[in-house]
């Protein structure tokens, strides 16, 4: 018998001072049986970091032809394609051909460094690709906030994020390996 996804209810208050975006959202997250708490929380952080009314979660691990999150224009074009981890370079090239902007949110610590060493030169040619790294210790701290029902506040200011629950607060300082346009 196949394992089913675990459902997480989230109350997420976003205060993005960098983009002047302020919203309270209530996403329901289905965590695939093979997905870790760390990956799920990175997915939620990416949702907050790039928050937009048109941004949505996809089938993620269950679909080979979809990213973890994406944002469509009103006419149906893919405006933003967000991948987590260390995706294959060919997959990213294909995504860059389909979407206006592609973002990789990397969270693998040493594995992320190795992935970049192996792919960085090829990825640098993709002018609409951004690669963001989140330090492994911050990802572990985010995983410590996981509950089946979460009430979180995410404040983004000066390129940093603070994610807080009633129990704890985590500061996230991503490093950008690449931004669109080179």
Q: Is residue 151 part of a domain?
A: yes
Mean pLDDT by 10 residues, the chain (182 residues): 84 98 95 92 97 89 78 96 96 96 94 95 96 97 97 97 97 94 56
Q: Is residue 132 part of a domain?
A: yes
**Can you give the pLDDT at residue 62?**
53
Q: Is residue 146 part of a domain?
A: yes
DSSP lists the bridge partners of residue 103 as 82, 130
Phi-psi region of 160 (alpha: psi -120 to 50; beta: other; left: phi over 0): beta
**Can you give the pLDDT at residue 48?**
98
**Can you give the pLDDT at residue 60?**
61
Q: For position 157, which CATH number holds?
A: 3.10.640.10
Q: Is residue 32 part of a domain?
A: yes
DSSP lists the bridge partners of residue 68 as none
Q: How many domains does the chain have?
A: 1
Q: Is residue 123 part of a domain?
A: yes
Q: Is residue 15 part of a domain?
A: yes
Summarize pLDDT for 123-140 with one digit per residue, the tens. 999 999 999 999 999 999
**What pTM did the predictor assign?**
0.93
Q: Is residue 1 part of a domain?
A: no
Q: How many CB atoms lie within 10 A of CB 7?
A: 11
> CA-CA distance, 54 to 9, in Å (whole number)?
20
State which residues form the domain around 124.
6-178
Q: What angle, rounded to 10 degrees, do the helices at 89-98 and 110-123 form? A: 60
Which of 118, 111, 133, 117 lies closest to 179 in space, CA to CA?
133
**Can you give the pLDDT at residue 181?**
61
């Amino acid at each position: 018998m196949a394992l089913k996804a675990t459902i997480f209810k989230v109350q997420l208050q976003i205060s993005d001072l960098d983009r002047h975006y302020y919203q309270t959202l209530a996403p329901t997250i289905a965590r695939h049986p093979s997905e870790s708490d760390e990956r799920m929380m990175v997915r939620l952080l990416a949702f907050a970091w790039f928050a937009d009314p048109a941004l949505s979660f996809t089938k993620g691990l269950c679909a080979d032809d979809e990213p973890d999150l994406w944002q469509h224009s009103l006419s149906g074009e893919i405006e933003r394609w967000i991948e987590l981890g260390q995706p294959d370079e060919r997959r990213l090239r294909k995504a860059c051909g389909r979407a206006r902007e592609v973002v990789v949110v990397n969270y693998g610590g040493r594995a992320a460094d190795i992935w970049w060493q192996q792919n960085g030169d090829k990825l640098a040619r993709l002018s609409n690709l951004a690669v963001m790294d989140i330090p492994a210790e911050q990802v572990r701290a985010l995983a410590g906030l996981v509950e089946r029902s979460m009430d979180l506040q995410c404040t983004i200011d000066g390129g940093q994020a603070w994610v807080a629950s009633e129990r704890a607060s985590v500061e996230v300082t991503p490093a950008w390996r690449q931004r669109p346009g080179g």
